[in-house]
Amino acid sequence: MKHVLDSVESKFEMFQILDENGKIVNKDDMPDLSDDELKELMRRMVYTRVLDQRSIALNRQGRLGFYAPTAGQEASQLGSHFALEKEDFILPGYRDVPQLIWHGLPLYQAFLFSRGHFHGNQMPEGVNALSPQIIIGAQYVQTAGVALGKKLRGNKSVAVTYTGDGGTSQGDFYEGINFAGAYGAPAIFFVQNNHFAISVPVEKQTAAKTLAQKAIAAGIEGIQVDGMDVLAMYAVTKHARERAINGEGPMLIEALTYRYGPHTMAGDDPTRYRTEDLNNEWEKKDPIVRFRTFLESKKLWSEEEENKVIEQAKEDIKAAIKETDKYPKQKVTDLISNMYEELPQNLKEQMEEYKEKESK
């Protein structure tokens, strides 16, 4: 009787290009990025870190609603996104607002999403994405559908989705990767393993040593990546995208990362389930710090440049929140008119009733 688990699990090694000291450890897989592109990656990460800090502050002031902090996950979110094209369709989880913003969602709309305003969910023309999914893992099965659609139409683009470590326990996760595998559909499934599903550590989530190995059961390729390494994230995503477009099927990518902040701003207290030591251990791997070291060694980045990005981000956020405040408040009649293509009788009546209420 042959047992295979050990031999399978040992094959899933973390893919890395830039180590935590900012040194290239894997020249062979170094992506072909111009200096400007490398700087753009840095710019996006710094900008997004500022956006996170400001969003937390705005939430505390009651000026934003639902918010899931992103600091720590910049390489995982933005390195992967940088390898995508405009025509690729993103199905994000609720922490994946940064990818939407860099895919083209205006900042003020991201803020309206946070406030629970429907306009925050209206992707502008040409922004191929759904608004963030709240139900854990639901986007995974839908991704198989978007990907199959692309295959049937012969589109040379991919469906891309993100969930967390907790999401890999949902039935939808397995069903999604299995369907995409069965159809050989062009999909990229990300698992941003930040090691805690709210409070539950990944070791309690599953007996599997890696989440990437879950690809095996679906018969698709899987890989584990250093999610704090923006170059590795970019390289892996680019590879997965090329494979998918060439008809080689979907891929599951596990990014090892960490969220520095709470699960969301609605009362989660990470000190109940994480130690300061663990936080420190991960902060040493910070994606921005290591990439800065790398860029500085190539004379591509300076403090001055970074400060310019920080100031730009602050200005943009200030302007965006102003625009958010100016946008007409959502009304109940907006909810009613967004329910069906044509209003049924009950809603026609209720439309009149609420119009009258709102006019008072």
Partner 1 sequence: MAQMTMIQAITDALRTELKNDENVLVFGEDVGQNGGVFRATEGLQDEFGEDRVFDTPLAESAIGGLSIGLALEGFRPVPEIQFFGFVYEVMDSINGQMARTRYRSGNTKQQPITIRSPFGGGVNTPELHADSLEGLVAQQPGLKVVIPSTPYDAKGLLLASIRDNDPVVFLEHMKLYRSFRGEVPEEEYTVDLSKADVKREGKDVTLIAYGAMVHACLKAADELEKNNINAEVIDLRTVSPIDVDTIIKSVEKTNRVVVVQEAQRQAGVAANIVTEIQERAILHLEAPVLRVTAPDTVYPFSEAEDIWLPDHKDIMEKVDQVINF
Give SS3 for 125. coil
* Closest CB to partner 1 among residues 310, 332: 332
By DSSP bridging, strand 159-164 and strand 187-193 are parallel
DSSP letter, residue 124: P
User: Which residues does 5 contact at the CB level (< 8 Å), separation at least 6?
Assistant: none
Q: Which stretch binds partner 1 (CB under 8 A): 81-89, 103-111, 286-294, 342-350?
A: 342-350
Q: Which of 103, 263, 274, 292 is catalytic?
A: 263
Q: Could you give the string, one character per residue 15-54, with x where binding to partner 1 holds by CB under 8 A and - elsewhere? A: ----------------------------------------
Beta pairing, strands 187-193 & 251-256: parallel
Closer to partner 1 by Cβ: residue 30 or 57: 57
Per the annotation, the verdict on 67 as an active-site residue is no
Q: How big, in percent rounded to 5, are the helix, strand and coil portions of the chain?
A: 50, 10, 35
Q: Does 339 bind partner 1 (CB under 8 A)?
A: yes
355 is an interface residue for partner 1 by CB under 8 A: no
Token pair listed for 25:
């450890």
Query: Which of the stretches 15-23, 69-77, 142-150, 195-203 binds partner 1 when contact is defined by CB under 8 A?
Result: 195-203
Q: Min. distance of Cβ 163 from partner 1 in angstroms? A: 10
Interface pick for partner 1 out of 87, 156, 171, 219 (rule CB under 8 A): 171
Q: Which of 31, 166, 176, 262 binds partner 1 (CB under 8 A)?
A: 166
Of residues 196, 210, 233, the one with CA closest to residue 31: 233
Is residue 247 a contact point for partner 1 (CB under 8 A)? Answer: no
The answer to whether 136 and 171 are in contact (CB under 8 A) is: no
75 contacts: CB under 8 Å, gap ≥ 6: 45, 227, 228, 229, 230, 232, 233, 255, 257, 287, 291
Q: Which residues have a catalytic role annotated? A: 259, 263, 273
Query: Which spans of this chain sit near partner 1 (rule: CB under 8 A)?
Result: 65-66, 94, 115-117, 134-136, 166-167, 169-172, 197-200, 204-206, 266-268, 272-273, 329-332, 334-336, 338-339, 346-347, 350, 353-354, 357-358
